[in-house]
Copies of this chain bind each other. A is one copy, B any other.
Amino acid sequence: TEPAPVHTADASDPFSTDPPRHPALIVNNPKPFNAETPPSLMMDNFRTPNDLFFVRNHLPVPKTDVEKHRLRVEGLGVGEGKEVDLSVAELKKKYKEHYVTSVVQCGGNRRADMQKFKKVAGLMWEGYAISNAKWTGVRLRDILIDLGVDPADERIKHVHLEGADVDPTGKPYGASIPFEKAMSPEVIIAYQMNDEDIPADHGYPLRCIVPGVVGARQVKWLTLVRLSDVESPSHFQQKDYRAFSPSVQHGEELDWNSVPSIQDYPIQSAFCLPASGTTVDRDSATSLPFGPVVLAEYSFPKDGTVDVAGYAWSGGGRGIIRVEVSPDGGETWYSAEMEQDPDQNQDKMWAWTLFRASIPIPEGAQTMDLVVKATDRSYNTQPETAAGIWNIRGLLHNAWHHVEVKIRG
């Protein structure tokens, strides 16, 4: 039989109604759809365009109808009979609109790089399962306070989030975030992404945006907010997205309760350009444009330097205070130029930092081991290698990122 065209419903294929995607996305897995932003395009925009934003789906994209979609809010502190089922129109009408420019990064970003150190299990993301967008919506805290929830209610410890995407048994995707985080002003129920309706792949019509936190908690196609004394019982909260110790080996029985669920992301950075294996001419090139500018004509400068560019970001709102790049595997360092969101400060930096540097090509060098690593507002830095962070699921890989270039001439 012929494969069904992707946009025709097929009862035997729950993915057959998935939306069309930009052909430039680098597909890691077609069903469920998982794809990275092409690194060569990442530096073109401070806010990643919607159709180039990386996609991480755990399940088929649900068919949602903005008229019929409801967000149920219930649980501890809301009180029985006080639960609400908000339509998107009600949400927009009842609460003040806010926006935040914020990163979503997959917990498995750079897993392929960790795999080079030692075998790990999961989707082999290179380093581009991360994007940055402007999200517009209403504050979760405004909804909860409107429903009578007391921010000081000590019974409430966690807020469960569920999506309209379901597994073959009908169980929805679920996750939870700490109550204190849920009450923070940066957490919003978004209906727009970069000033457009959120696309189907990114949570249409509602997504919970939890700045500073791993992507897996930023639930798409949001249908439910539940206040609770415990974490979400969802598989994705309990049996996934927890990074074990490097002492835990493949084949061992896993004690999931021995490690906390990932929430805030650690410090991260990686090169987008040049690609590993690139050959650089010592003296026939032009400069690399920086930041939200077209890098399609990326090439190298005439004066014996290599231009490099990429991203850095840290969780918990910890701003990037510097990005350093090395031409020689980490022996010597140069501070990179940084582009940051002018509306955010170092203590509440939810957006990423783009960086750029021109690194002198060492005399006589035939190859260069380029390295990047960043430092955040708490002076946390990235480990040199995976030696201390390797974990069987390959989560949260944030070791120094290396790119090798060859020098010609």
A379 contacts the other chain (Cβ, under 8 Å)? yes
How far is it, in angstroms, between the C-alpha of A377 and the C-alpha of B335 when the chains are bound? 28
Q: Please, which residue of chain B has its CB at the minimum distance from the CB of A333? A: B247
How far is it, in angstroms, between the C-alpha of A333 and the C-alpha of B386 when the chains are bound? 13
A265 contacts the other chain (Cβ, under 8 Å)? yes
A216 contacts the other chain (Cβ, under 8 Å)? no
The segment out of A142-150, A199-207, A256-264, A304-312 that lies at the interface is A256-264
A225 contacts the other chain (Cβ, under 8 Å)? no
Q: Please, which residue of chain B has its CB at the minimum distance from the CB of A347? A: B178
When the two chains form their complex, are residues B388 and A387 in contact, meaning their CB atoms are under 8 A apart? no
| A346-390 Cβ-contact flags toward B at 8 Å (1 or 0) | 110000000000000000000000000101011111111101110
- How many chain A residues have a CB neighbour from B under 8 Å? 43
Beyond A178-B347, A378-B266, is A324–B245 a contact (Cβ under 8 Å)?
yes
How far is it, in angstroms, between the C-alpha of A264 and the C-alpha of B377 when the chains are bound? 8
Name A residues whose Cβ lies closer than 8 Å to a Cβ of B. Answer: 178, 180, 243, 245-247, 259-260, 262-267, 315-316, 321-322, 324, 330-335, 346-347, 373, 375, 377-385, 387-389, 396, 400
14 contacts between A and B (CB under 8 A): A180-B347, A243-B379, A245-B333, A246-B324, A247-B324, A247-B334, A247-B335, A259-B322, A263-B377, A266-B379, A266-B381, A380-B380, A383-B384, A384-B385
